[in-house]
Amino acid sequence: MFKNYYLFSELLKEIQPAISGQKITSAFTYRKDEVVLELGNDQFILIGIAANEPYLLLKAAHNISQARYALFEKLYGQTIRNAGLLNFDKHLFIETESYRLEAIFFPPHNNVFLLSADRQILKAFKDKTEYPAKLPETQEKLDLRAIEASLLNDLIVKNPTLKVRGFLQNHFAALNKVMLNEILFRTQLDPERPLSELNEEQKERLITVLLKIKEELTAGKAYLYFDKNADLIRWISLIRLEQFQESYDFKEYDSINQALGVFYYEKRVRQEFEKLKALCKTALQKRLRFLNSSLERLKEHADLRKRKTEAELKGNLLLTFKNDIPPGAREVELANIFSERQEKIKIKLNPSKSVVENAQRYFNKFKNVQHNQQALQIKMDTYRREMEEIDQLLKQLEQIRTLQRLKSFSDRLREMKLIQDGSASNKKAAPENLKYVFNRLIVDGKWEVYIGRDGKTNDLLTFHFANKWDIWLHAQGVSGAHVIIRVPNRNQNPPAHIIEQAARIAAAHSKARTSSTVPVIYTQVRYVSRIRKAPPGTVKFQNEKVLFVTPMNLN
């Protein structure tokens, strides 16, 4: 009902005494679709012309941090003489001694125009919008605020064939859907029933309800209706909406202007809430889709032993038929002589290599099948863990009801790099979110292994994130990433095979990653310290042990 003519009209009636006789000291805009008139009594008239959210408000003057853009300088120093609405139209006018300001709230003409005393257009807020060539004609329908019982009774008698709904729509101006439904709800009449079929009690009930609506429209009160399960304002009304009493809570205001101020503030909050929630949900769902598709691709390659057998078969077939394969071939189809069925097998070739070299390539493809199987399992476990975490975050998002909590939640997603919109908070990442700064792998289904990305994150990982009893690893004698095995409590020690796999990960994240064997040192974090004045990530250590490992191929 916030776009309703009666609401605008009664609001203007309420604020008229406060604005009449006041000087306009400035006019400006600082946000889209809004014009602000600053008055000499330290008040602002706010005029909003967005088609989906037209408004008129009187507010106390306040500091505005955003840039102001001056408008309608001719109005400065002018005194407001009169203000009103065109009959049954959302078309506001404010008259001064020399000018007339008109705000049109209906599309496609929604704009604010400055006119001279003889109605010549001098300036427009929006340049592309034209003043309507023809203003809407005055409606002959009745103003609900001016009806009397005798008039209503005469109308019912004179229109026997009209149905109840049609009677209300045809005779009363500015009757929107909410008001119409409220009248029907209160009367409990069949909207499709002709007036001639109403008995005297039903006619009296219809008249009584309409007179009650009249009384409420002119009472100077306003009602805000809230969702029962959330503090979200859904409706503002000049009349009690009994149709919503079961599904909404409401609050009564003695000032329409005050109620509208709350309504528009909460409406903006709700719009910001919904927009931010959609951003968070989209980011989480996008990450979940990526993880799911990545996991499915890994599952396709999960049976490495079977694939190793298939690759070795292709290598043996190439050697068996090497004299039958022409040089430079890209693909051949050979009979499987090792099978009773002798089925045909297609084999892709590198045309720049000989048949023997192609065969050797197939033999070497899954040479380290056990190590590759470990790496594959680690990546699958890592994806599954993050998918569980994303699912939990989606559930948490659905439980959030306030904008403040939602902003904190979105900051967390930014710290997790799930939202990257350039509006990251300047605040230091919360300890529980700091882990998302690093690469993470899940080893053996439960052990979290963290890997630094560069010198700065190496330093952050070792000296800010890690516990003193966590295990620190680094390739010996070469530059590389700091690697941490997260140990749940100080009395627990990771099994030897976990340390060995973490060492292989450390080797893979060092400059020795292409070596067949790499020495990797490990010790507790408590025995690692910075070197004074050295670049971030440069450390010294003690009580270390050394493992010789093969770098893990995580690709």
What tens digit of pLDDT does each residue of 454-508 get? 999 999 999 999 999 999 999 999 999 999 999 999 999 999 999 999 999 999 9
CA–CA separation, 281 and 399 (whole Å): 12
Helices (H), 400-430: 403-415
CA–CA separation, 446 and 495 (whole Å): 12
pLDDT at 209 over 70: yes
* 211-229 pLDDT, tens digit each: 999 999 999 999 999 887 6
CA–CA separation, 229 and 219 (whole Å): 29
pLDDT at 1: 45
Q: Which of 232 and 250 is assigned the larger pLDDT?
A: 250
| Residues facing residue 157 across a β-bridge | none
Rounded mean pLDDT of 99-108? 91
Rounded mean pLDDT of 418-429? 69
pLDDT at 222: 96
Nearest to 451 by CA among 377, 378, 371, 389: 378
CA–CA separation, 160 and 39 (whole Å): 53
Nearest to 358 by CA among 386, 318, 398: 318
- What single DSSP character describes residue 65? -
Q: 452 pLDDT band (50/70/90 cuts)?
A: very high
Crossing angle of the two packed helices 200-217 and 149-158, in degrees rounded to 10: 130
CA–CA separation, 101 and 71 (whole Å): 12
pLDDT at 424: 55
Q: Which residue has the tokens 């330290």?
A: 42
DSSP character string of 210-261: HHHHHHHHTSS-EEEEEETTS--EEEEESS--GGGTTTEEEEEES-HHHHHH
Rounded mean pLDDT of 58-69? 89
CA–CA separation, 535 and 533 (whole Å): 7
pLDDT at 373: 78
Tokens representing 443 are 């080893």
pLDDT at 425: 56
CA–CA separation, 193 and 457 (whole Å): 75
Region of residue 443 (left: phi > 0; alpha: psi -120 to 50; beta: else): beta
Q: What is the mean pLDDT of the chain?
A: 91
Degrees to nearest 5, angle at CA 385 with 382 and 391: 140
Rounded mean pLDDT of 248-271? 91
Q: Which residues contact 120 (CB under 8 A, 6 or more apart)?
A: none
What's the number of CA atoms in the CB half-sphere (13 Å) around residue 315?
A: 17
pLDDT at 67 over 60: yes
Q: Is the dihedral of CA 538, 544, 550, 554 positive or negative?
A: negative
* 297-324 pLDDT, tens digit each: 888 776 767 788 888 899 999 999 999 9
| Residues facing residue 39 across a β-bridge | 24
Name the CA dihedral angle for 428, 432, 433, 437, rounded to a multiple of 10 degrees: 90
Tokens representing 99 are 């000018």
- What single DSSP character describes residue 490? T
CA–CA separation, 212 and 422 (whole Å): 54
What are the strands of the beta sheet with 53-60, ordered from one edge? 53-60, 43-50, 34-39, 24-29, 69-70
pLDDT at 2: 59
Q: 142 pLDDT band (50/70/90 cuts)?
A: very high
pLDDT at 312: 87
Q: Which residue has the tokens 């009384």?
A: 215
pLDDT at 428: 65
Rounded mean pLDDT of 502-528? 96
Task: Supply the pTM of this predicted model.
Answer: 0.66
* 364-408 pLDDT, tens digit each: 877 766 667 788 889 999 999 999 999 999 999 999 988 899 999
Q: Which of 74 and 416 is assigned the larger pLDDT?
A: 74
